[in-house]
Chain A
Amino acid sequence: GQQLNQSPQSMFIQEGEDVSMNCTSSSIFNTWLWYKQDPGEGPVLLIALYKAGELTSNGRLTAQFGITRKDSFLNISASIPSDVGIYFCAGHENNDMRFGAGTRLTVKP
């Protein structure tokens, strides 16, 4: 099926800056998940959102489940070099699971 629209594709930021990325879909989801993947490894779950309008934080990470259930965003505050990696969103609805193409984040010290 159609993958999710994730933007931006890549970001180059300075250490200490805040980052924002988002995912949109033409379909409704009842779960949004955000993952980070380091080279050669599998994705690691950062935040899971299960309710429209939900805003959840995990340390410097904050994610929101859009009220329309068709979008979600992830914010990273005060970025550090170890934030480097590829961030993926995933949407789940009944038997359907789709992923965004990923946002590649580069943090310059």
Chain B
Amino acid sequence: KAGVTQTPRYLIKTRGQQVTLSCSPISGHRSVSWYQQTPGQGLQFLFEYFSETQRNKGNFPGRFSGRQFSNSRSEMNVSTLELGDSALYLCASSLAFGYGYTFGSGTRLTVV
């Protein structure tokens, strides 16, 4: 059974640019959630999608957005990148929000 796949694994962007990250969940999992991990703030919840609808959202600015497609694949977009957006972005899928996720290996974003 394939795990959660995140692409790309590494990304370098310039301040002010925008970026789109992709996540393919485990087959059958309809909940996809996104997290930001930094040394200073740790793991923080960004948002969660279920059946193409955003159902939960963490405390992040509107520059962070996402969407989910009918096949449950999800994308996360960050606009007007700031240096502080440099982080490991993790995607996780589960049957339902809060029920033990399977995480992908993450996309490490560096903003210069």
Of A3, A44, A100, which contacts B103 at CB under 8 A?
A: A44
Task: Sort chain B's interface into a size bin.
Answer: 20 to 34
A interface size (C-beta, 8 A):
23
Chain A contact surface mostly: strand
CB contacts between A and B, total, < 8 Å: 53
Residues of A within 8 A of B98 (CB): 30-31, 92, 97
Chain B contact surface mostly: strand
Cβ of B41 to closest chain A Cβ, rounded Å: 8
Q: Is the CB of B106 within 8 A of A92?
A: no
CA distance A100 to B42 in the complex (A): 8
Chain B: residues with CB nearer than 8 A to chain A? Answer: 4, 33, 42-45, 48, 55-59, 90, 92, 97-106
Interface string of A8-39 (1 = CB under 8 A from B): 00000000000000000000001101010000
Q: Is the CB of B103 within 8 A of A42?
A: yes
Q: Tell me if A98 is interfacial: C-beta within 8 Å of chain B.
A: yes
